[in-house]
């Protein structure tokens, strides 16, 4: 596999190169240190996989991506601790690594990449751009990936999410449920600011799809699609508080 490392930090490239070669000594690795040289490298080498830094002297990794006629390689963003950017990557389901890169996280990322399907990159980039510069919250979209496909989903169409071990099932208004091999906690962190509520250890609901709160027997929620969700005893007061905000 031909790999490109595009990062202006010498130490970061050195570390990542060594970690990659520990994973697979057959990797054919090429390096660039800026947006301009990164574009030249991609054009000349046609890499299969690109590790792209966010901040570089002549622009950002996003600037580089916008100048490409097409993204015909697999992509991993490499970033410092820029929380706003990390949340954007999560919404767009772009693989990312935080510096300093950890061997175990790199291994997991490579495993996902090797098993991933073709990516609808234009749609993913649109979601990434929207996540960095959001408009109305109801317009937000999120990218969900399972073993067979990539889905670009409107956040407003998500009725609820249900956990089962390290899997999360998304129940939607306009299509069949989607099962994702990621824990519910990851989606709770993303969606709670968008009027979602963790009603139970296994359930995250979209408050905009809540139809009725039943106070009997500890409490349960009826959603607009007819499904019922239990409310944990410690969340009872919190859900009442959230409901008062919707009036």
* pTM: predicted TM-score of the whole model, two decimal places: 0.70
Same domain, 114 and 15: yes
Same domain, 97 and 141: no
Residue 18 pLDDT grade (very low, low, confident, very high; cuts 50, 70, 90): very high
If one compares 211 and 123, the residue with the highest pLDDT of the two is 211
Residue 228 pLDDT grade (very low, low, confident, very high; cuts 50, 70, 90): very high
For the segment 64-120, what is each residue's pLDDT rounded down to a tens digit? 988 888 888 989 999 876 665 677 777 887 888 888 899 999 998 998 888 776 677
d(CA 199, CA 221): 9
Residue 135 pLDDT grade (very low, low, confident, very high; cuts 50, 70, 90): low
CATH number at residue 63: 3.40.50.2300
- Give the C-alpha distances (Å, rounded to integers) separating 116 from 46, 77, 95, 134: 19, 16, 11, 27
d(CA 21, CA 112): 18
pLDDT, residue 61, reads: 87
Which residue, of 103, 127, 151, is where some domain finishes?
127
Between vectors from CA 161 to CA 159 and to CA 165, what angle results, nearest 5°?
Answer: 165
- Give 198's contacts (C-beta < 8 A, 6+ positions apart): 188, 192, 204, 235
The total domain count for the chain is 2
For residue 222, what are the β-bridge partners?
212, 228
Of 31-35, 62-66, 87-91, 139-143, the one with minimum mean pLDDT is 87-91
Query: Is the pLDDT at 244 greater than 90, yes or no?
Result: no
Domain that holds residue 159: 135-245
Same domain, 61 and 32: yes
């Amino acid at each position: 596999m031909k790999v490109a490392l595009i990062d202006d930090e010498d130490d970061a490239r050195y570390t990542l190169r060594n970690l990659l070669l520990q994973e697979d000594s057959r990797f054919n690795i090429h390096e660039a240190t800026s947006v301009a040289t990164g574009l030249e490298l991609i054009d000349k080498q046609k890499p299969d996989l690109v590790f792209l830094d966010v901040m570089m002297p002549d622009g950002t990794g996003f600037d580089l991506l916008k100048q490409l006629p097409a993204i015909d390689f697999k992509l991993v963003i490499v970033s410092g601790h820029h929380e706003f950017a990390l949340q954007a990557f999560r919404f767009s389901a772009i693989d990312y690594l935080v510096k300093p890169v950890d061997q175990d996280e790199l291994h997991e990322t490579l495993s996902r990449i090797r098993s991933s399907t073709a990516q609808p990159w234009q749609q993913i980039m649109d979601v990434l751009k929207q996540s960095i510069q959001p408009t109305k919250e109801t317009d937000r979209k999120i990218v969900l990936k399972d073993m067979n496909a990539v889905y670009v989903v409107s956040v407003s169409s998500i009725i609820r999410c249900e956990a089962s071990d390290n899997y999360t099932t998304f129940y939607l208004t306009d299509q069949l449920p989607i099962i994702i091999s990621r824990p519910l906690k990851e989606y709770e962190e993303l969606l709670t600011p968008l009027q979602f509520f963790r009603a139970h250890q296994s359930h995250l609901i979209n408050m905009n799809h809540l139809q009725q709160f039943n106070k009997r027997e500890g409490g349960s929620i009826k959603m607009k699609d007819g499904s019922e969700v239990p409310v944990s005893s410690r969340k009872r007061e919190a859900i009442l508080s959230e409901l008062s905000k919707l009036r």
